[in-house]
Amino acid sequence: MYEIKKDELTRKNVFAGDFPIVKDVGEVATGKTVRRFAPVALTADGIVEAEAPSGSGDTAKPGNLDKLCGIAADDSTDGGVVYYLTGEFFADGLTLPTGVTAAALKPVFRKLGLFLK
């Protein structure tokens, strides 16, 4: 006979308020991908996901949190990505790269008009 299938839908609410949202489009750095709702930075090579400082001494990497420019609205496609320049977002709704915390993003994002709750 017929079998009833059940699917489960889990919504991910990332928007936290009604602060005006402004978007922009940028080119993703060659060989890089950007995931949906990931914090992004604008580098000389193009848009990349945020990276936290890591290592020490000769192996230290400075990261790029000082170059943050927004939050990716969707996955990167065809070398480009749409990203949010302003808005209110739930921190637990973001796709945070390894080593990047919402606490580290808050002060930088606040200066840009991006607010994490």
The CATH superfamily of 22-51+62-116 is Head decoration protein D (2.40.300.10)
Q: Is the confidence at residue 8, as pLDDT, over 90?
A: no
Give the model's pLDDT for residue 105.
Answer: 92
Residue ranges covered by each domain of the chain: 22-51+62-116
Residue 27: its pLDDT value, please? 96
Q: Following CA atoms 70, 71, 75, 78 in sequence, which dihedral angle do they give, to the nearest 10 degrees? A: -10
32 Cβ contact partners less than 8 Å away, ≥ 6 residues apart: 45, 46, 47, 48, 49, 76
pTM summary value = 0.84
pLDDT score, position 93: 92
Q: Mean pLDDT in the chain?
A: 90
Q: Is the pLDDT of residue 11 over 80?
A: no
pLDDT (tens digit per residue) in 58-112: 777 888 888 999 999 999 988 899 999 999 999 999 999 888 899 989 999 999 9
Per-residue pLDDT reduced to its tens digit, 19-59: 999 999 999 999 999 999 999 999 999 999 999 888 777 77
